[in-house]
Homo-oligomer: A and B are copies of this chain.
Amino acid sequence: MKSRGNIDFRRIAIIGVGLIGGSFALSLKKLGYSGRIIGIGRKKENLLKAKDLGIIDDYFTAALEGVKDADLIVLSLPVGQFQKTLEEIRDNIKEGAIITDVGSVKVNVVKMLEPLMPQGVSFVGGHPIAGKESSGIIDATADLFTGARCVITPTSNTGQGAIEKIANLWRLFGSKVLIMTPEEHDRIFAAVSHMPHVVAYTLVNTLLELNKDILKHSGPSLRDMTRVAMSSPEMWRDICSSNKENIIESLSRLISSLGHIKGLLEKSDWHGLEEEFKSAQKGRQGIGNL
């Protein structure tokens, strides 16, 4: 039997061949994976491009057909399309297969997908902390996940074997795997990712309302702060709807903190303001060092 680079799956179907799905495929190729990688998507020209680039081995526009015989199915399309997709493919999922995802929200995804799993099929929620503001296959790379963290969110229904296989795959990609409950995941990422994305979008709109030409005057600081406002509106709408309560909670806290800062400015409390800036400067140092 041919080696598959320590990977337990003979046939892997990736539904949604964009930045993350494409990088997942390229990470497999980089490991010398010799099983079949099947790309599934709505746009044939995108799939053709992925095949021409050697990212996938074969492709299907019909998901039902594409997932046949797959040992691993990776959902890497916007979270809002998960349920419809699962309902579409469910009758063709092989017994013993594992389904995983790369979505940025976990509680709703798990709640929605677990009941749809056919007998003998495991779902393991996953969220690689990697990405760019772009979402196309053209930006996919074999090292997107190298050195990044990947959160796995099992529930009481998730089998230990399936968890291990998915965790092992991410570790082979060079990621650091963290295990959390879906609830813990959604609380943390509402704060460190979802709410900040919403703020970046809102910051851009606020400036445009002030003066539609003002962004021309931006320097490197604002460019960096608003880079993520280039992200897919559809994807972020889905994330907001799936993690609504946690995002509202952290957004409320930010609004209240900004009100406090505005108060310091109004009172000309420069010492108080400097203390706030100092505490942020100090706190920022530990960022991303897990």
Contacts and interface: CB of A to CB of B under 8 A. Distances in A.
Interface of A: 129-132, 148-149, 188-189, 191-193, 196-212, 214-234, 236-237, 240-241, 244, 247-248, 250-255, 257-259, 261-262, 265-266, 268, 270, 273-274, 276-281, 283-290
Closest 5 CB pairs of A and B: A233-B277, A201-B280, A204-B280, A237-B274, A129-B219
Contact of A219 (B131, B215, B258): B131
Given A131-B221, A215-B284, A240-B265, 17 more contacts: A129-B217, A188-B217, A191-B207, A192-B218, A199-B203, A201-B261, A201-B276, A202-B261, A205-B283, A206-B257, A216-B288, A222-B288, A229-B280, A234-B274, A237-B274, A248-B266, A254-B258
Most B Cβ at <10 Å: residue of A211, A232, A262, A280: A280
Contacts of A223: 287-288
B236 A211 contact: no
A281 B188 contact: no
A212 to B, nearest CB: 8
A279 B210 CA distance: 14
B217 A197 contact: no
Contacts of A189: 217
B191 A211 contact: yes
Given A215-B286, A233-B274, A274-B233, A209 B250 contact: no
Contacts of A220: 130-132
A202 B257 contact: yes
Contact of A192 (B202, B217, B286): B217
